[in-house]
A = this chain, B = another copy of it.
Amino acid sequence: MLVVMRPGATAEEVRAVVATIEELGYEARPMPGRQRTTVGLVGNDGRVDGSRIEALSGVAELIHVTKPYKQVSREWRSEPTIVRLAGGVTIGGADLAIMAGPCSVESESQILEAARAVRAAGATVLRGGAFKPRSSPYSFQGLGREGLRLLALARAETGLLIITEAMDAEQLDLVAEVADIVQIGARNMQNYSLLRSAGRGGKPVLLKRGLSATVQDLLLSAEYILAEGNPDVILCERGLRGFDSVTRNLFDLSAIPVVHHLSHLPIIADPSHGTGRRDMVIPMARAAVAAGADGLLIEVHPTPERALSDGAQSLDPAQFATLMREARVIAEAIGRSIPVPVGASA
């Protein structure tokens, strides 16, 4: 349930609402907005009798949330969540967040070379898998802890922030020591134990949409993280299971405006997994920006033809730089921006 205060309600009036909610045995979450404050009521498992609250001074209305999710919804919080990272990088504001790098961390030279290349083109976050979920137990599963060490090295050398994936609670602890954003992959989107652990951790979480997840399923999974107290969730569209094998997945760009309509959380797009084909990453990345994505997650490898995983969908540094230039113009056409890299001319 949401308690919407009148514009101009006093801090005293808000405190009274909070106190009443707590007396009723629930938890209260006051959220000051620009125009009015709302107070969320958490901890109920069904409809709450709101008559005592409705009668309080300064209360405009009660919204009984009938959608199965709450804290992720636009009703709960009308202004967009802006996730704030080190170095002034934000996700969900006017600037688009550009995350790029190889599928897997393979070696020191590979990750450093990739990091320098994506930084030069305008990326602010370096992606690279240390723990890799692979369909086959016999495929390369990532360098593990050594991969994390190499990511930390790349961070120290280039100043790029780090995003990398964790698949269980133990990996989550290891990753959190190094990464600025923890990634939960599509296969684990409904791994509720992992979602809860990530919700109790202190790091922002990038949550990828599962291959057959509705947008509501995705929002409910995000709700697991927020319900544990972590508000910094970034959603990510990365393609659905489709019937046409001409692409690896069915990249559902309409999820971007749908999420923006239903939720205050930012959503970025991963056209590399979304299409699985290098020649389609560029047009679909541009399309994602035009559709309003809050950022891009792109696979870039210094030498894609030698990649240990996902080489067929990785851009080389030159292709990535071209994409960044085109995406920057499109972002500006719709009132967004992609920062020009330091020392570069747009």
Contact = CB atoms under 8 A, between A and B. Distances in A.
Interface of A: 44-45, 68-70, 133-140, 167-169, 171, 187-188, 190-194, 210-212, 214-217, 220-221, 223-224, 227, 240-247, 250-254, 256-258, 261, 274-275, 279-280, 283-284, 286-292, 326, 329-330, 333-334
8 contacts: A133-B192, A137-B220, A137-B227, A187-B192, A214-B243, A216-B244, A250-B252, A329-B329
A275 B257 CA distance: 10
Contacts of A243: 212, 214, 241-243
A287 B291 contact: yes
A45 B185 CA distance: 24
B250 A254 contact: yes
Contact of A69 (B134, B136, B192, B217): B136
Please tell me how many copies of the chain the complex holds: 4
B193 A168 contact: yes
A212 B250 CA distance: 12
Contacts of A138: 44-45, 68, 70, 223, 227
A121 to B, nearest CB: 17
Specify which of A136, A168, A284 lies most central, judged by the most chain B CB atoms within 10 Å of its CB: A136
Contacts of A188: 190-191
Given A169-B168, A211-B212, A257 B242 contact: no
Contacts of A245: 214, 245
Given A167-B193, A215-B246, A244-B214, A286 B334 contact: yes
A284 B287 CA distance: 8
A71 to B, nearest CB: 10
Contact of A254 (B168, B254, B280, B329): B280
Nearest to A199: B137
